[in-house]
Structure 1
Amino acid sequence: MKKEVQVHSLFSDFDISLFRAGKHYRLYEKFGAHILEVDGEKGVYFAVWAPSAKSVSVIGDFNYWLEGEHPLNVRWDESGIWEGFIPGVEKGAKYKYKIHSSIDDMKLEKADPYALKCEHPPNTASIVWDLEYKWKDKKHMSSRKDKNSLSSPYSIYEVHLGSWRKNMDENRSLTYVEMADELVSYVKEVGFTHVEFMPIMEYPYDPSWGYQLTGYFAPTSRFGDPQEFMYLTDAFHKAGIGVILDWVPSHFPEDKHGLGKFDGSNLYEHPDPRKGYHPDWKSLIFNYGRNEVRSFLISNAIFWLDKYHADGLRVDAVASMLYLDYSREDGEWEPNEHGGRENLDAISFVRDLNTEVYKSFDGVQTIAEESTSFPMVSRPVDLGGLGFGMKWMMGWMHDTLEYFKKDSIYRQYHQNDITFSMTYTFTENFVLPLSHDEVVYGKKSLLGRMPGDDWQRFANLRLLYSYMFTHPGAKLLFMGAEIGQYEEWNYNTSLDWHLLDYEPHQGIKKVLTDLNKLYKTRPALHEKQFTADGFEWISYDDSQNSVLTYIRKGEDPKKSLVVVCNFTPTVLKDYSVGVPHSGKLKEIFNSDNEKYGGSGIKNKSIKTKKESFHGRDNSAEITIPPLGCVVFEIL
């Protein structure tokens, strides 16, 4: 016997027109399951988009999962939206949509694309929930425009929540609430300005690390409920730390309960497999040319910034979206209308996304993980760019790691590898990433890549981080890098926290803590990190000694810093360096400091000489420690 489903709608005619035009960016306020009171009765309003359906029923634990007990009503306006109010359904109820398709008479059971909470995988039902929460981050939200600006320090700690630290007594990952204590205090201690979570949206398959999403509007139930994730974000904000979320609009999995063939048709994915199927990841690609799909995706991005107070979105796999021939052979892709390889629909979508994000929120950033030379990724849309705030500098990452893995005796022949990034570093607003992708699949950990004996390996790692933090651009380090992890990352196990019982690993953590402090407190390292007038070479051609010397500059030229890097284990004494002006050189950072595990070779105050060197009127003679980076201020 069919139960009463009351005719009710949250959609106005204007909502429908925006949705169909691809311009409705708050669809989470309309679609999904909403706890309401209608005509004095409490219950839940359901709405789902399924234009190829003959009928849609809500099935759940409140009706014994029986089809037809609660049929939804299709709207008269040909929008393809099915909706209705079901009295008596309460928060916590489990449900799905039973869709009877007009295509091949298929019957499908689908999770709600707009569900606010999902069952803990491997279970797949959606859960009626709300987003009621009393935020306590007013101070952070009101000041984050300054904290997140391109002229502010931006040091990111990338985290996989399931494997950062385990509760060893119970052999489980920490909960959101536990992380609000342990993770927040740790990130603050080491001094990162931001934390970036690998995808926390619900995903069915642990080995995907979260990059194959099925619950786009639900934080994963693995670690707690939505309010507990809000509590974690709130805790970071109260500690003055920004929260960036990895976001995946590039592809989605084929799981039966997910978005694929949602109503029997290619509703969310592109119907042409040349544009709708990803051969590398064996997943489906969104149809960026379909207006309703664009509304879904942009609404999802806005949702996490709006309801969860995220400070930024790192957009995954942007290159795969931009190019029709991405990971495809000749004959496996079709050129665009101009005969090119660019995906014009995806480019248009990305521009709309960034335009809406920056229009709607002060003090947020979108960051592109984009690995090609596509132009103007982090330039404004109105200037012809894609509109991202920043872009990962994949070339720097590749060249730098290739250079560092070489034995120091051979580095003199590869000086260009370590200097080449400066030929293009100001073409975009770059983030220097040493991410999770660099410590998996046989690539070794960062420490494991370093050559030489144990002392040299740790010295090389300290030098790598020092070079990174004094190079222009924002910074990103994957968890474990700060303790000198020996092993590659394993999503199933905790980081090797016991390593901090040993001094060399303590030294890595200390050097990163001090580098974060240096980056945050010295304006020369962040005020002009994305502009060419914030950097100046002193010398990049001393390949024989494998030495680089350069100046970092902020708004005040008197507060410029001189950076010297020695990429060999040879101590260089009485090394002449041209300096920008006369005065005394004071060493303010030295990666060879004994407290980091270094040899303790350092410089006392050095008075400059009125002797020309490196094309400058003033110079100084310094000592450069082995495999060391030294930073000076001139007083």
Structure 2
Amino acid sequence: MAIPDKWIKLLKEVKDENWNMGDIVWTLTNRRYMEKTVAYVESHDQALVGDKTIAFWLMDKKMYTHMSVLSPPNYVINRGIALHNMITLITHSLGGEAYLNFIGNEFGHPEWLDFPRKGNNNSYHYARRQWHLVDDENLKYKFMNKWNSAINALEEIYGWLHSSPGYVSWKHEDDKIIVFERAGLVFIFNFHPDKSFPDYPVGVNRAGTYKVILNSDDLQFGGENRVDSKVLHFTIPETFANRSCKMFVYIPCRCAIVYKLLDD
């Protein structure tokens, strides 16, 4: 419960420009070495009996008016989808040895779930998930669902959930950057609300050429298409962040990128 409790506490009480990267990493990794743990973003405590889902804490009532792909861009929705995607990936890839979706959090269901009971006059109104939302191509719920599917598909290939725990090489509080390696992949997160970083140094332990294999800023995931996934990144033989070499990457604000070593 520590992980979903952490996310809900941050969303309720802390502006994301004040999120502590070290605290997030500690919550995601604070378990005995190789003790198998199930990680999840939200649970019954958040999404049942009248509280809000993670998506609704992020986007609130704007979800009822600005989730159409035909509507003008909206800052609250753009921020919400970006952070929802980042929270999903970092929890999935760093938080444990299994990952649990919670009845609709994969596509950002807006409302809570509440079974008929005396306290709600035995109402069935909230006793369902609105699965039609994610199937509507005119709504932005599809972006979060595609991101969730892409994460699971990538994990099927590289198997980070049954690999050794991630090695976190970088936690920068001012830049709001987290970097770690797991299952041979390099995960980079920029939680900063408005700072993008060109030529950001990233330490890696294996020399070679790296390419982007997953990017939350892709248009299909509701992003702004600021990352060119065709660009290759070459390491140089200089130690950085306690790793044997480094490379330089462009990491936009509120973006998560996964890199792999070519020919690996």
**Could you say which TM-score interval applies, normalised by the shorter chain?**
0.7 to 0.9
The answer as to 2:129 corresponding to 1:468 is no
1:547 aligns with 2:177: yes
The code of the aligned residue for 2:31 comes to Y
Show the counterpart of 1:418.
24
Shift of 1:521: 1.3
- 1:517 aligned to 2:142? no
Map of 1:373-412 to 2, 5 A cutoff? 394-405=1-12, 406-411=14-19
Equivalent position of 1:574 in the other structure: 199
Map 1:554-573 → 2, pairs under 5 A: 560-570=184-194, 571-573=196-198
Tell me the distance in 2 between the aligned counterparts of 1:591 and 1:425.
30
Distance 2:51 2:22 in 1: 23
The one of the two structures with greater contact order (alpha-carbon pairs below 8 A, sep at least 6) is 2
1:443 aligns with 2:77: no
Conservation of the 8 A alpha-carbon contact between 1:503 and 1:597: no
TM-score, length basis structure 2? 0.79
Identify if the C-alpha distance between structure 1 residues 626 and 504 changes in structure 2 by more than 3 Å, giving closer, same or farther. farther
Per-residue Cα deviation, 1:458-496 (whole angstroms, up to 9, x for no partner): 111111111122113211111111221111123333312
Aligned to 1:165: none
Deviation at residue 404 of structure 1 after TM alignment: 4.5
Preserved CA contact (<8 Å) 1:399 1:417: no
In 2, the alpha carbon distance for the partners of 1:485 and 1:564 equals 26
The offset of 1:438, in angstroms, is 2.1
What's the offset of the Cα at 1:550? 0.4
Q: Partners in 1 of 2:50 and 2:128 — Cα distance?
A: 18
TM superposition shift of 1:567: 1.2
After TM superposition, list the pairs within 5 Å mapping 1:76-475 onto structure 2.
394-405=1-12, 406-411=14-19, 414-421=20-27, 422-424=29-31, 426=33, 428-433=35-40, 434-450=42-58, 453-471=76-94, 472-475=96-99
Q: What secondary structure, in the 3-state scheme, does the structure 1 residue paired with 2:147 have?
A: helix
* Per-residue CA distance 1:269-315 (angstroms, 9 max, x = gap): xxxxxxxxxxxxxxxxxxxxxxxxxxxxxxxxxxxxxxxxxxxxxxx
Amino acid at match of 2:218: N
Determine what percentage of the aligned residue pairs are the same residue. Answer: 23
Structure 1 length-normalised TM: 0.34
Residue pair 1:469, 1:519 contacting (<8 A) in 2 also: no
Matched, 1:601 2:209: no
2:245 aligned with 1:618: yes
Where 1:426 maps in the other structure, the secondary structure is: coil
Secondary structure (helix, strand or coil) at the match of 1:549 reads strand
Read off the aligned partner of 2:206 and give its amino acid letter: H
Amino acid at match of 1:418: I
What corresponds to 1:301 in structure 2?
Answer: none
Change (3 A) 1:567 1:610: same
1:526 to 161, 175, 182: 161
Q: CA–CA distance in 2 between the matches of 1:404 and 1:561?
A: 28
Q: Is the 8 Å Cα contact of residues 203 and 246 (structure 2) preserved in structure 1?
A: yes
Q: 1:482 aligns with which of 106, 113, 117?
A: 106
Residues of 1 paired with 2:34 and 2:237: CA distance? Answer: 36
Contact 1:403–1:418 (CA under 8 A) maintained in structure 2: no
Amino acid at match of 1:432: A
Counterpart code for 1:537: V
> What residue number does 2:167 align with?
536
Instruction: Look up the SS of the partner of 1:450 in the other structure.
Output: helix
Q: Distance in 2 between matches of 1:568 and 1:535?
A: 22
Q: In 2, Cα distance between the equivalents of 1:605 and 1:404?
A: 35
Residues 620/468 of structure 1: CA separation in 2 closer, same or farther (3 Å cut): same
Q: Partners in 2 of 1:404 and 1:566 — Cα distance?
A: 17
Give yes or no for contact 2:213–2:260 (8 Å, CA) kept in 1. Answer: yes
Letter in 1 for 2:55: L
In 1, Cα distance between the equivalents of 2:49 and 2:128?
17
Deviation of 1:624 (Å):
1.3
One-letter code aligned to 2:156: K
Contact kept, 8 Å, 1:404 with 1:464, in 2: the verdict is no
Aligned mates of 1:561, 1:425 — CA distance in 2: 22
Distance 2:217 2:156 in 1: 21
Q: Residues 426 and 404 of structure 1: is their aligned pair in 2 closer, same or farther, counting only changes over 3 Å?
A: farther
| Aligned length, in residue pairs | 228
Unaligned 5+ runs, structure 1? 1-393, 554-559
Aligned partner letter, 2:57: R
Relative distance call for 1:470 and 1:425 in structure 2 (3 A) is farther
Q: Is the 8 A contact 1:435 1:476 kept in 2?
A: no
Counterpart amino acid of residue 520 in structure 1: E
Letter in 2 for 1:546: K
Task: Give the distance between the partners of 2:87 and 2:169, measured in 1 at CA.
Answer: 20
Structure with the largest fraction of helix: 2
Which residues of structure 2 form unaligned runs of 5+? 60-74, 116-123
Indicate whether 1:592 and 2:217 are aligned: yes
Over 3 Å counting, the alpha-carbon distance change for 1:437 and 1:512 in structure 2 is same
How much has 1:511 moved relative to structure 2?
A: 0.5
Name the Cα RMSD after superposition.
Answer: 2.0
Equivalent position amino acid for 1:448 in 2:
F
Distance in 2 between the 1:425 and 1:547 partners? 25
Question: Aligned pair in 2 of structure 1 residues 461, 615: CA closer, same or farther (>3 Å)?
Answer: same
Give, in whole Å, the separation in 2 of the partners of 1:443 and 1:544: 32
Max Rg structure: 1
Q: Is the 8 A contact 2:53 2:110 kept in 1?
A: yes
User: Which residue does the alignment assign to 1:36?
Assistant: none
Q: Does 1:495 align with 2:129?
A: yes
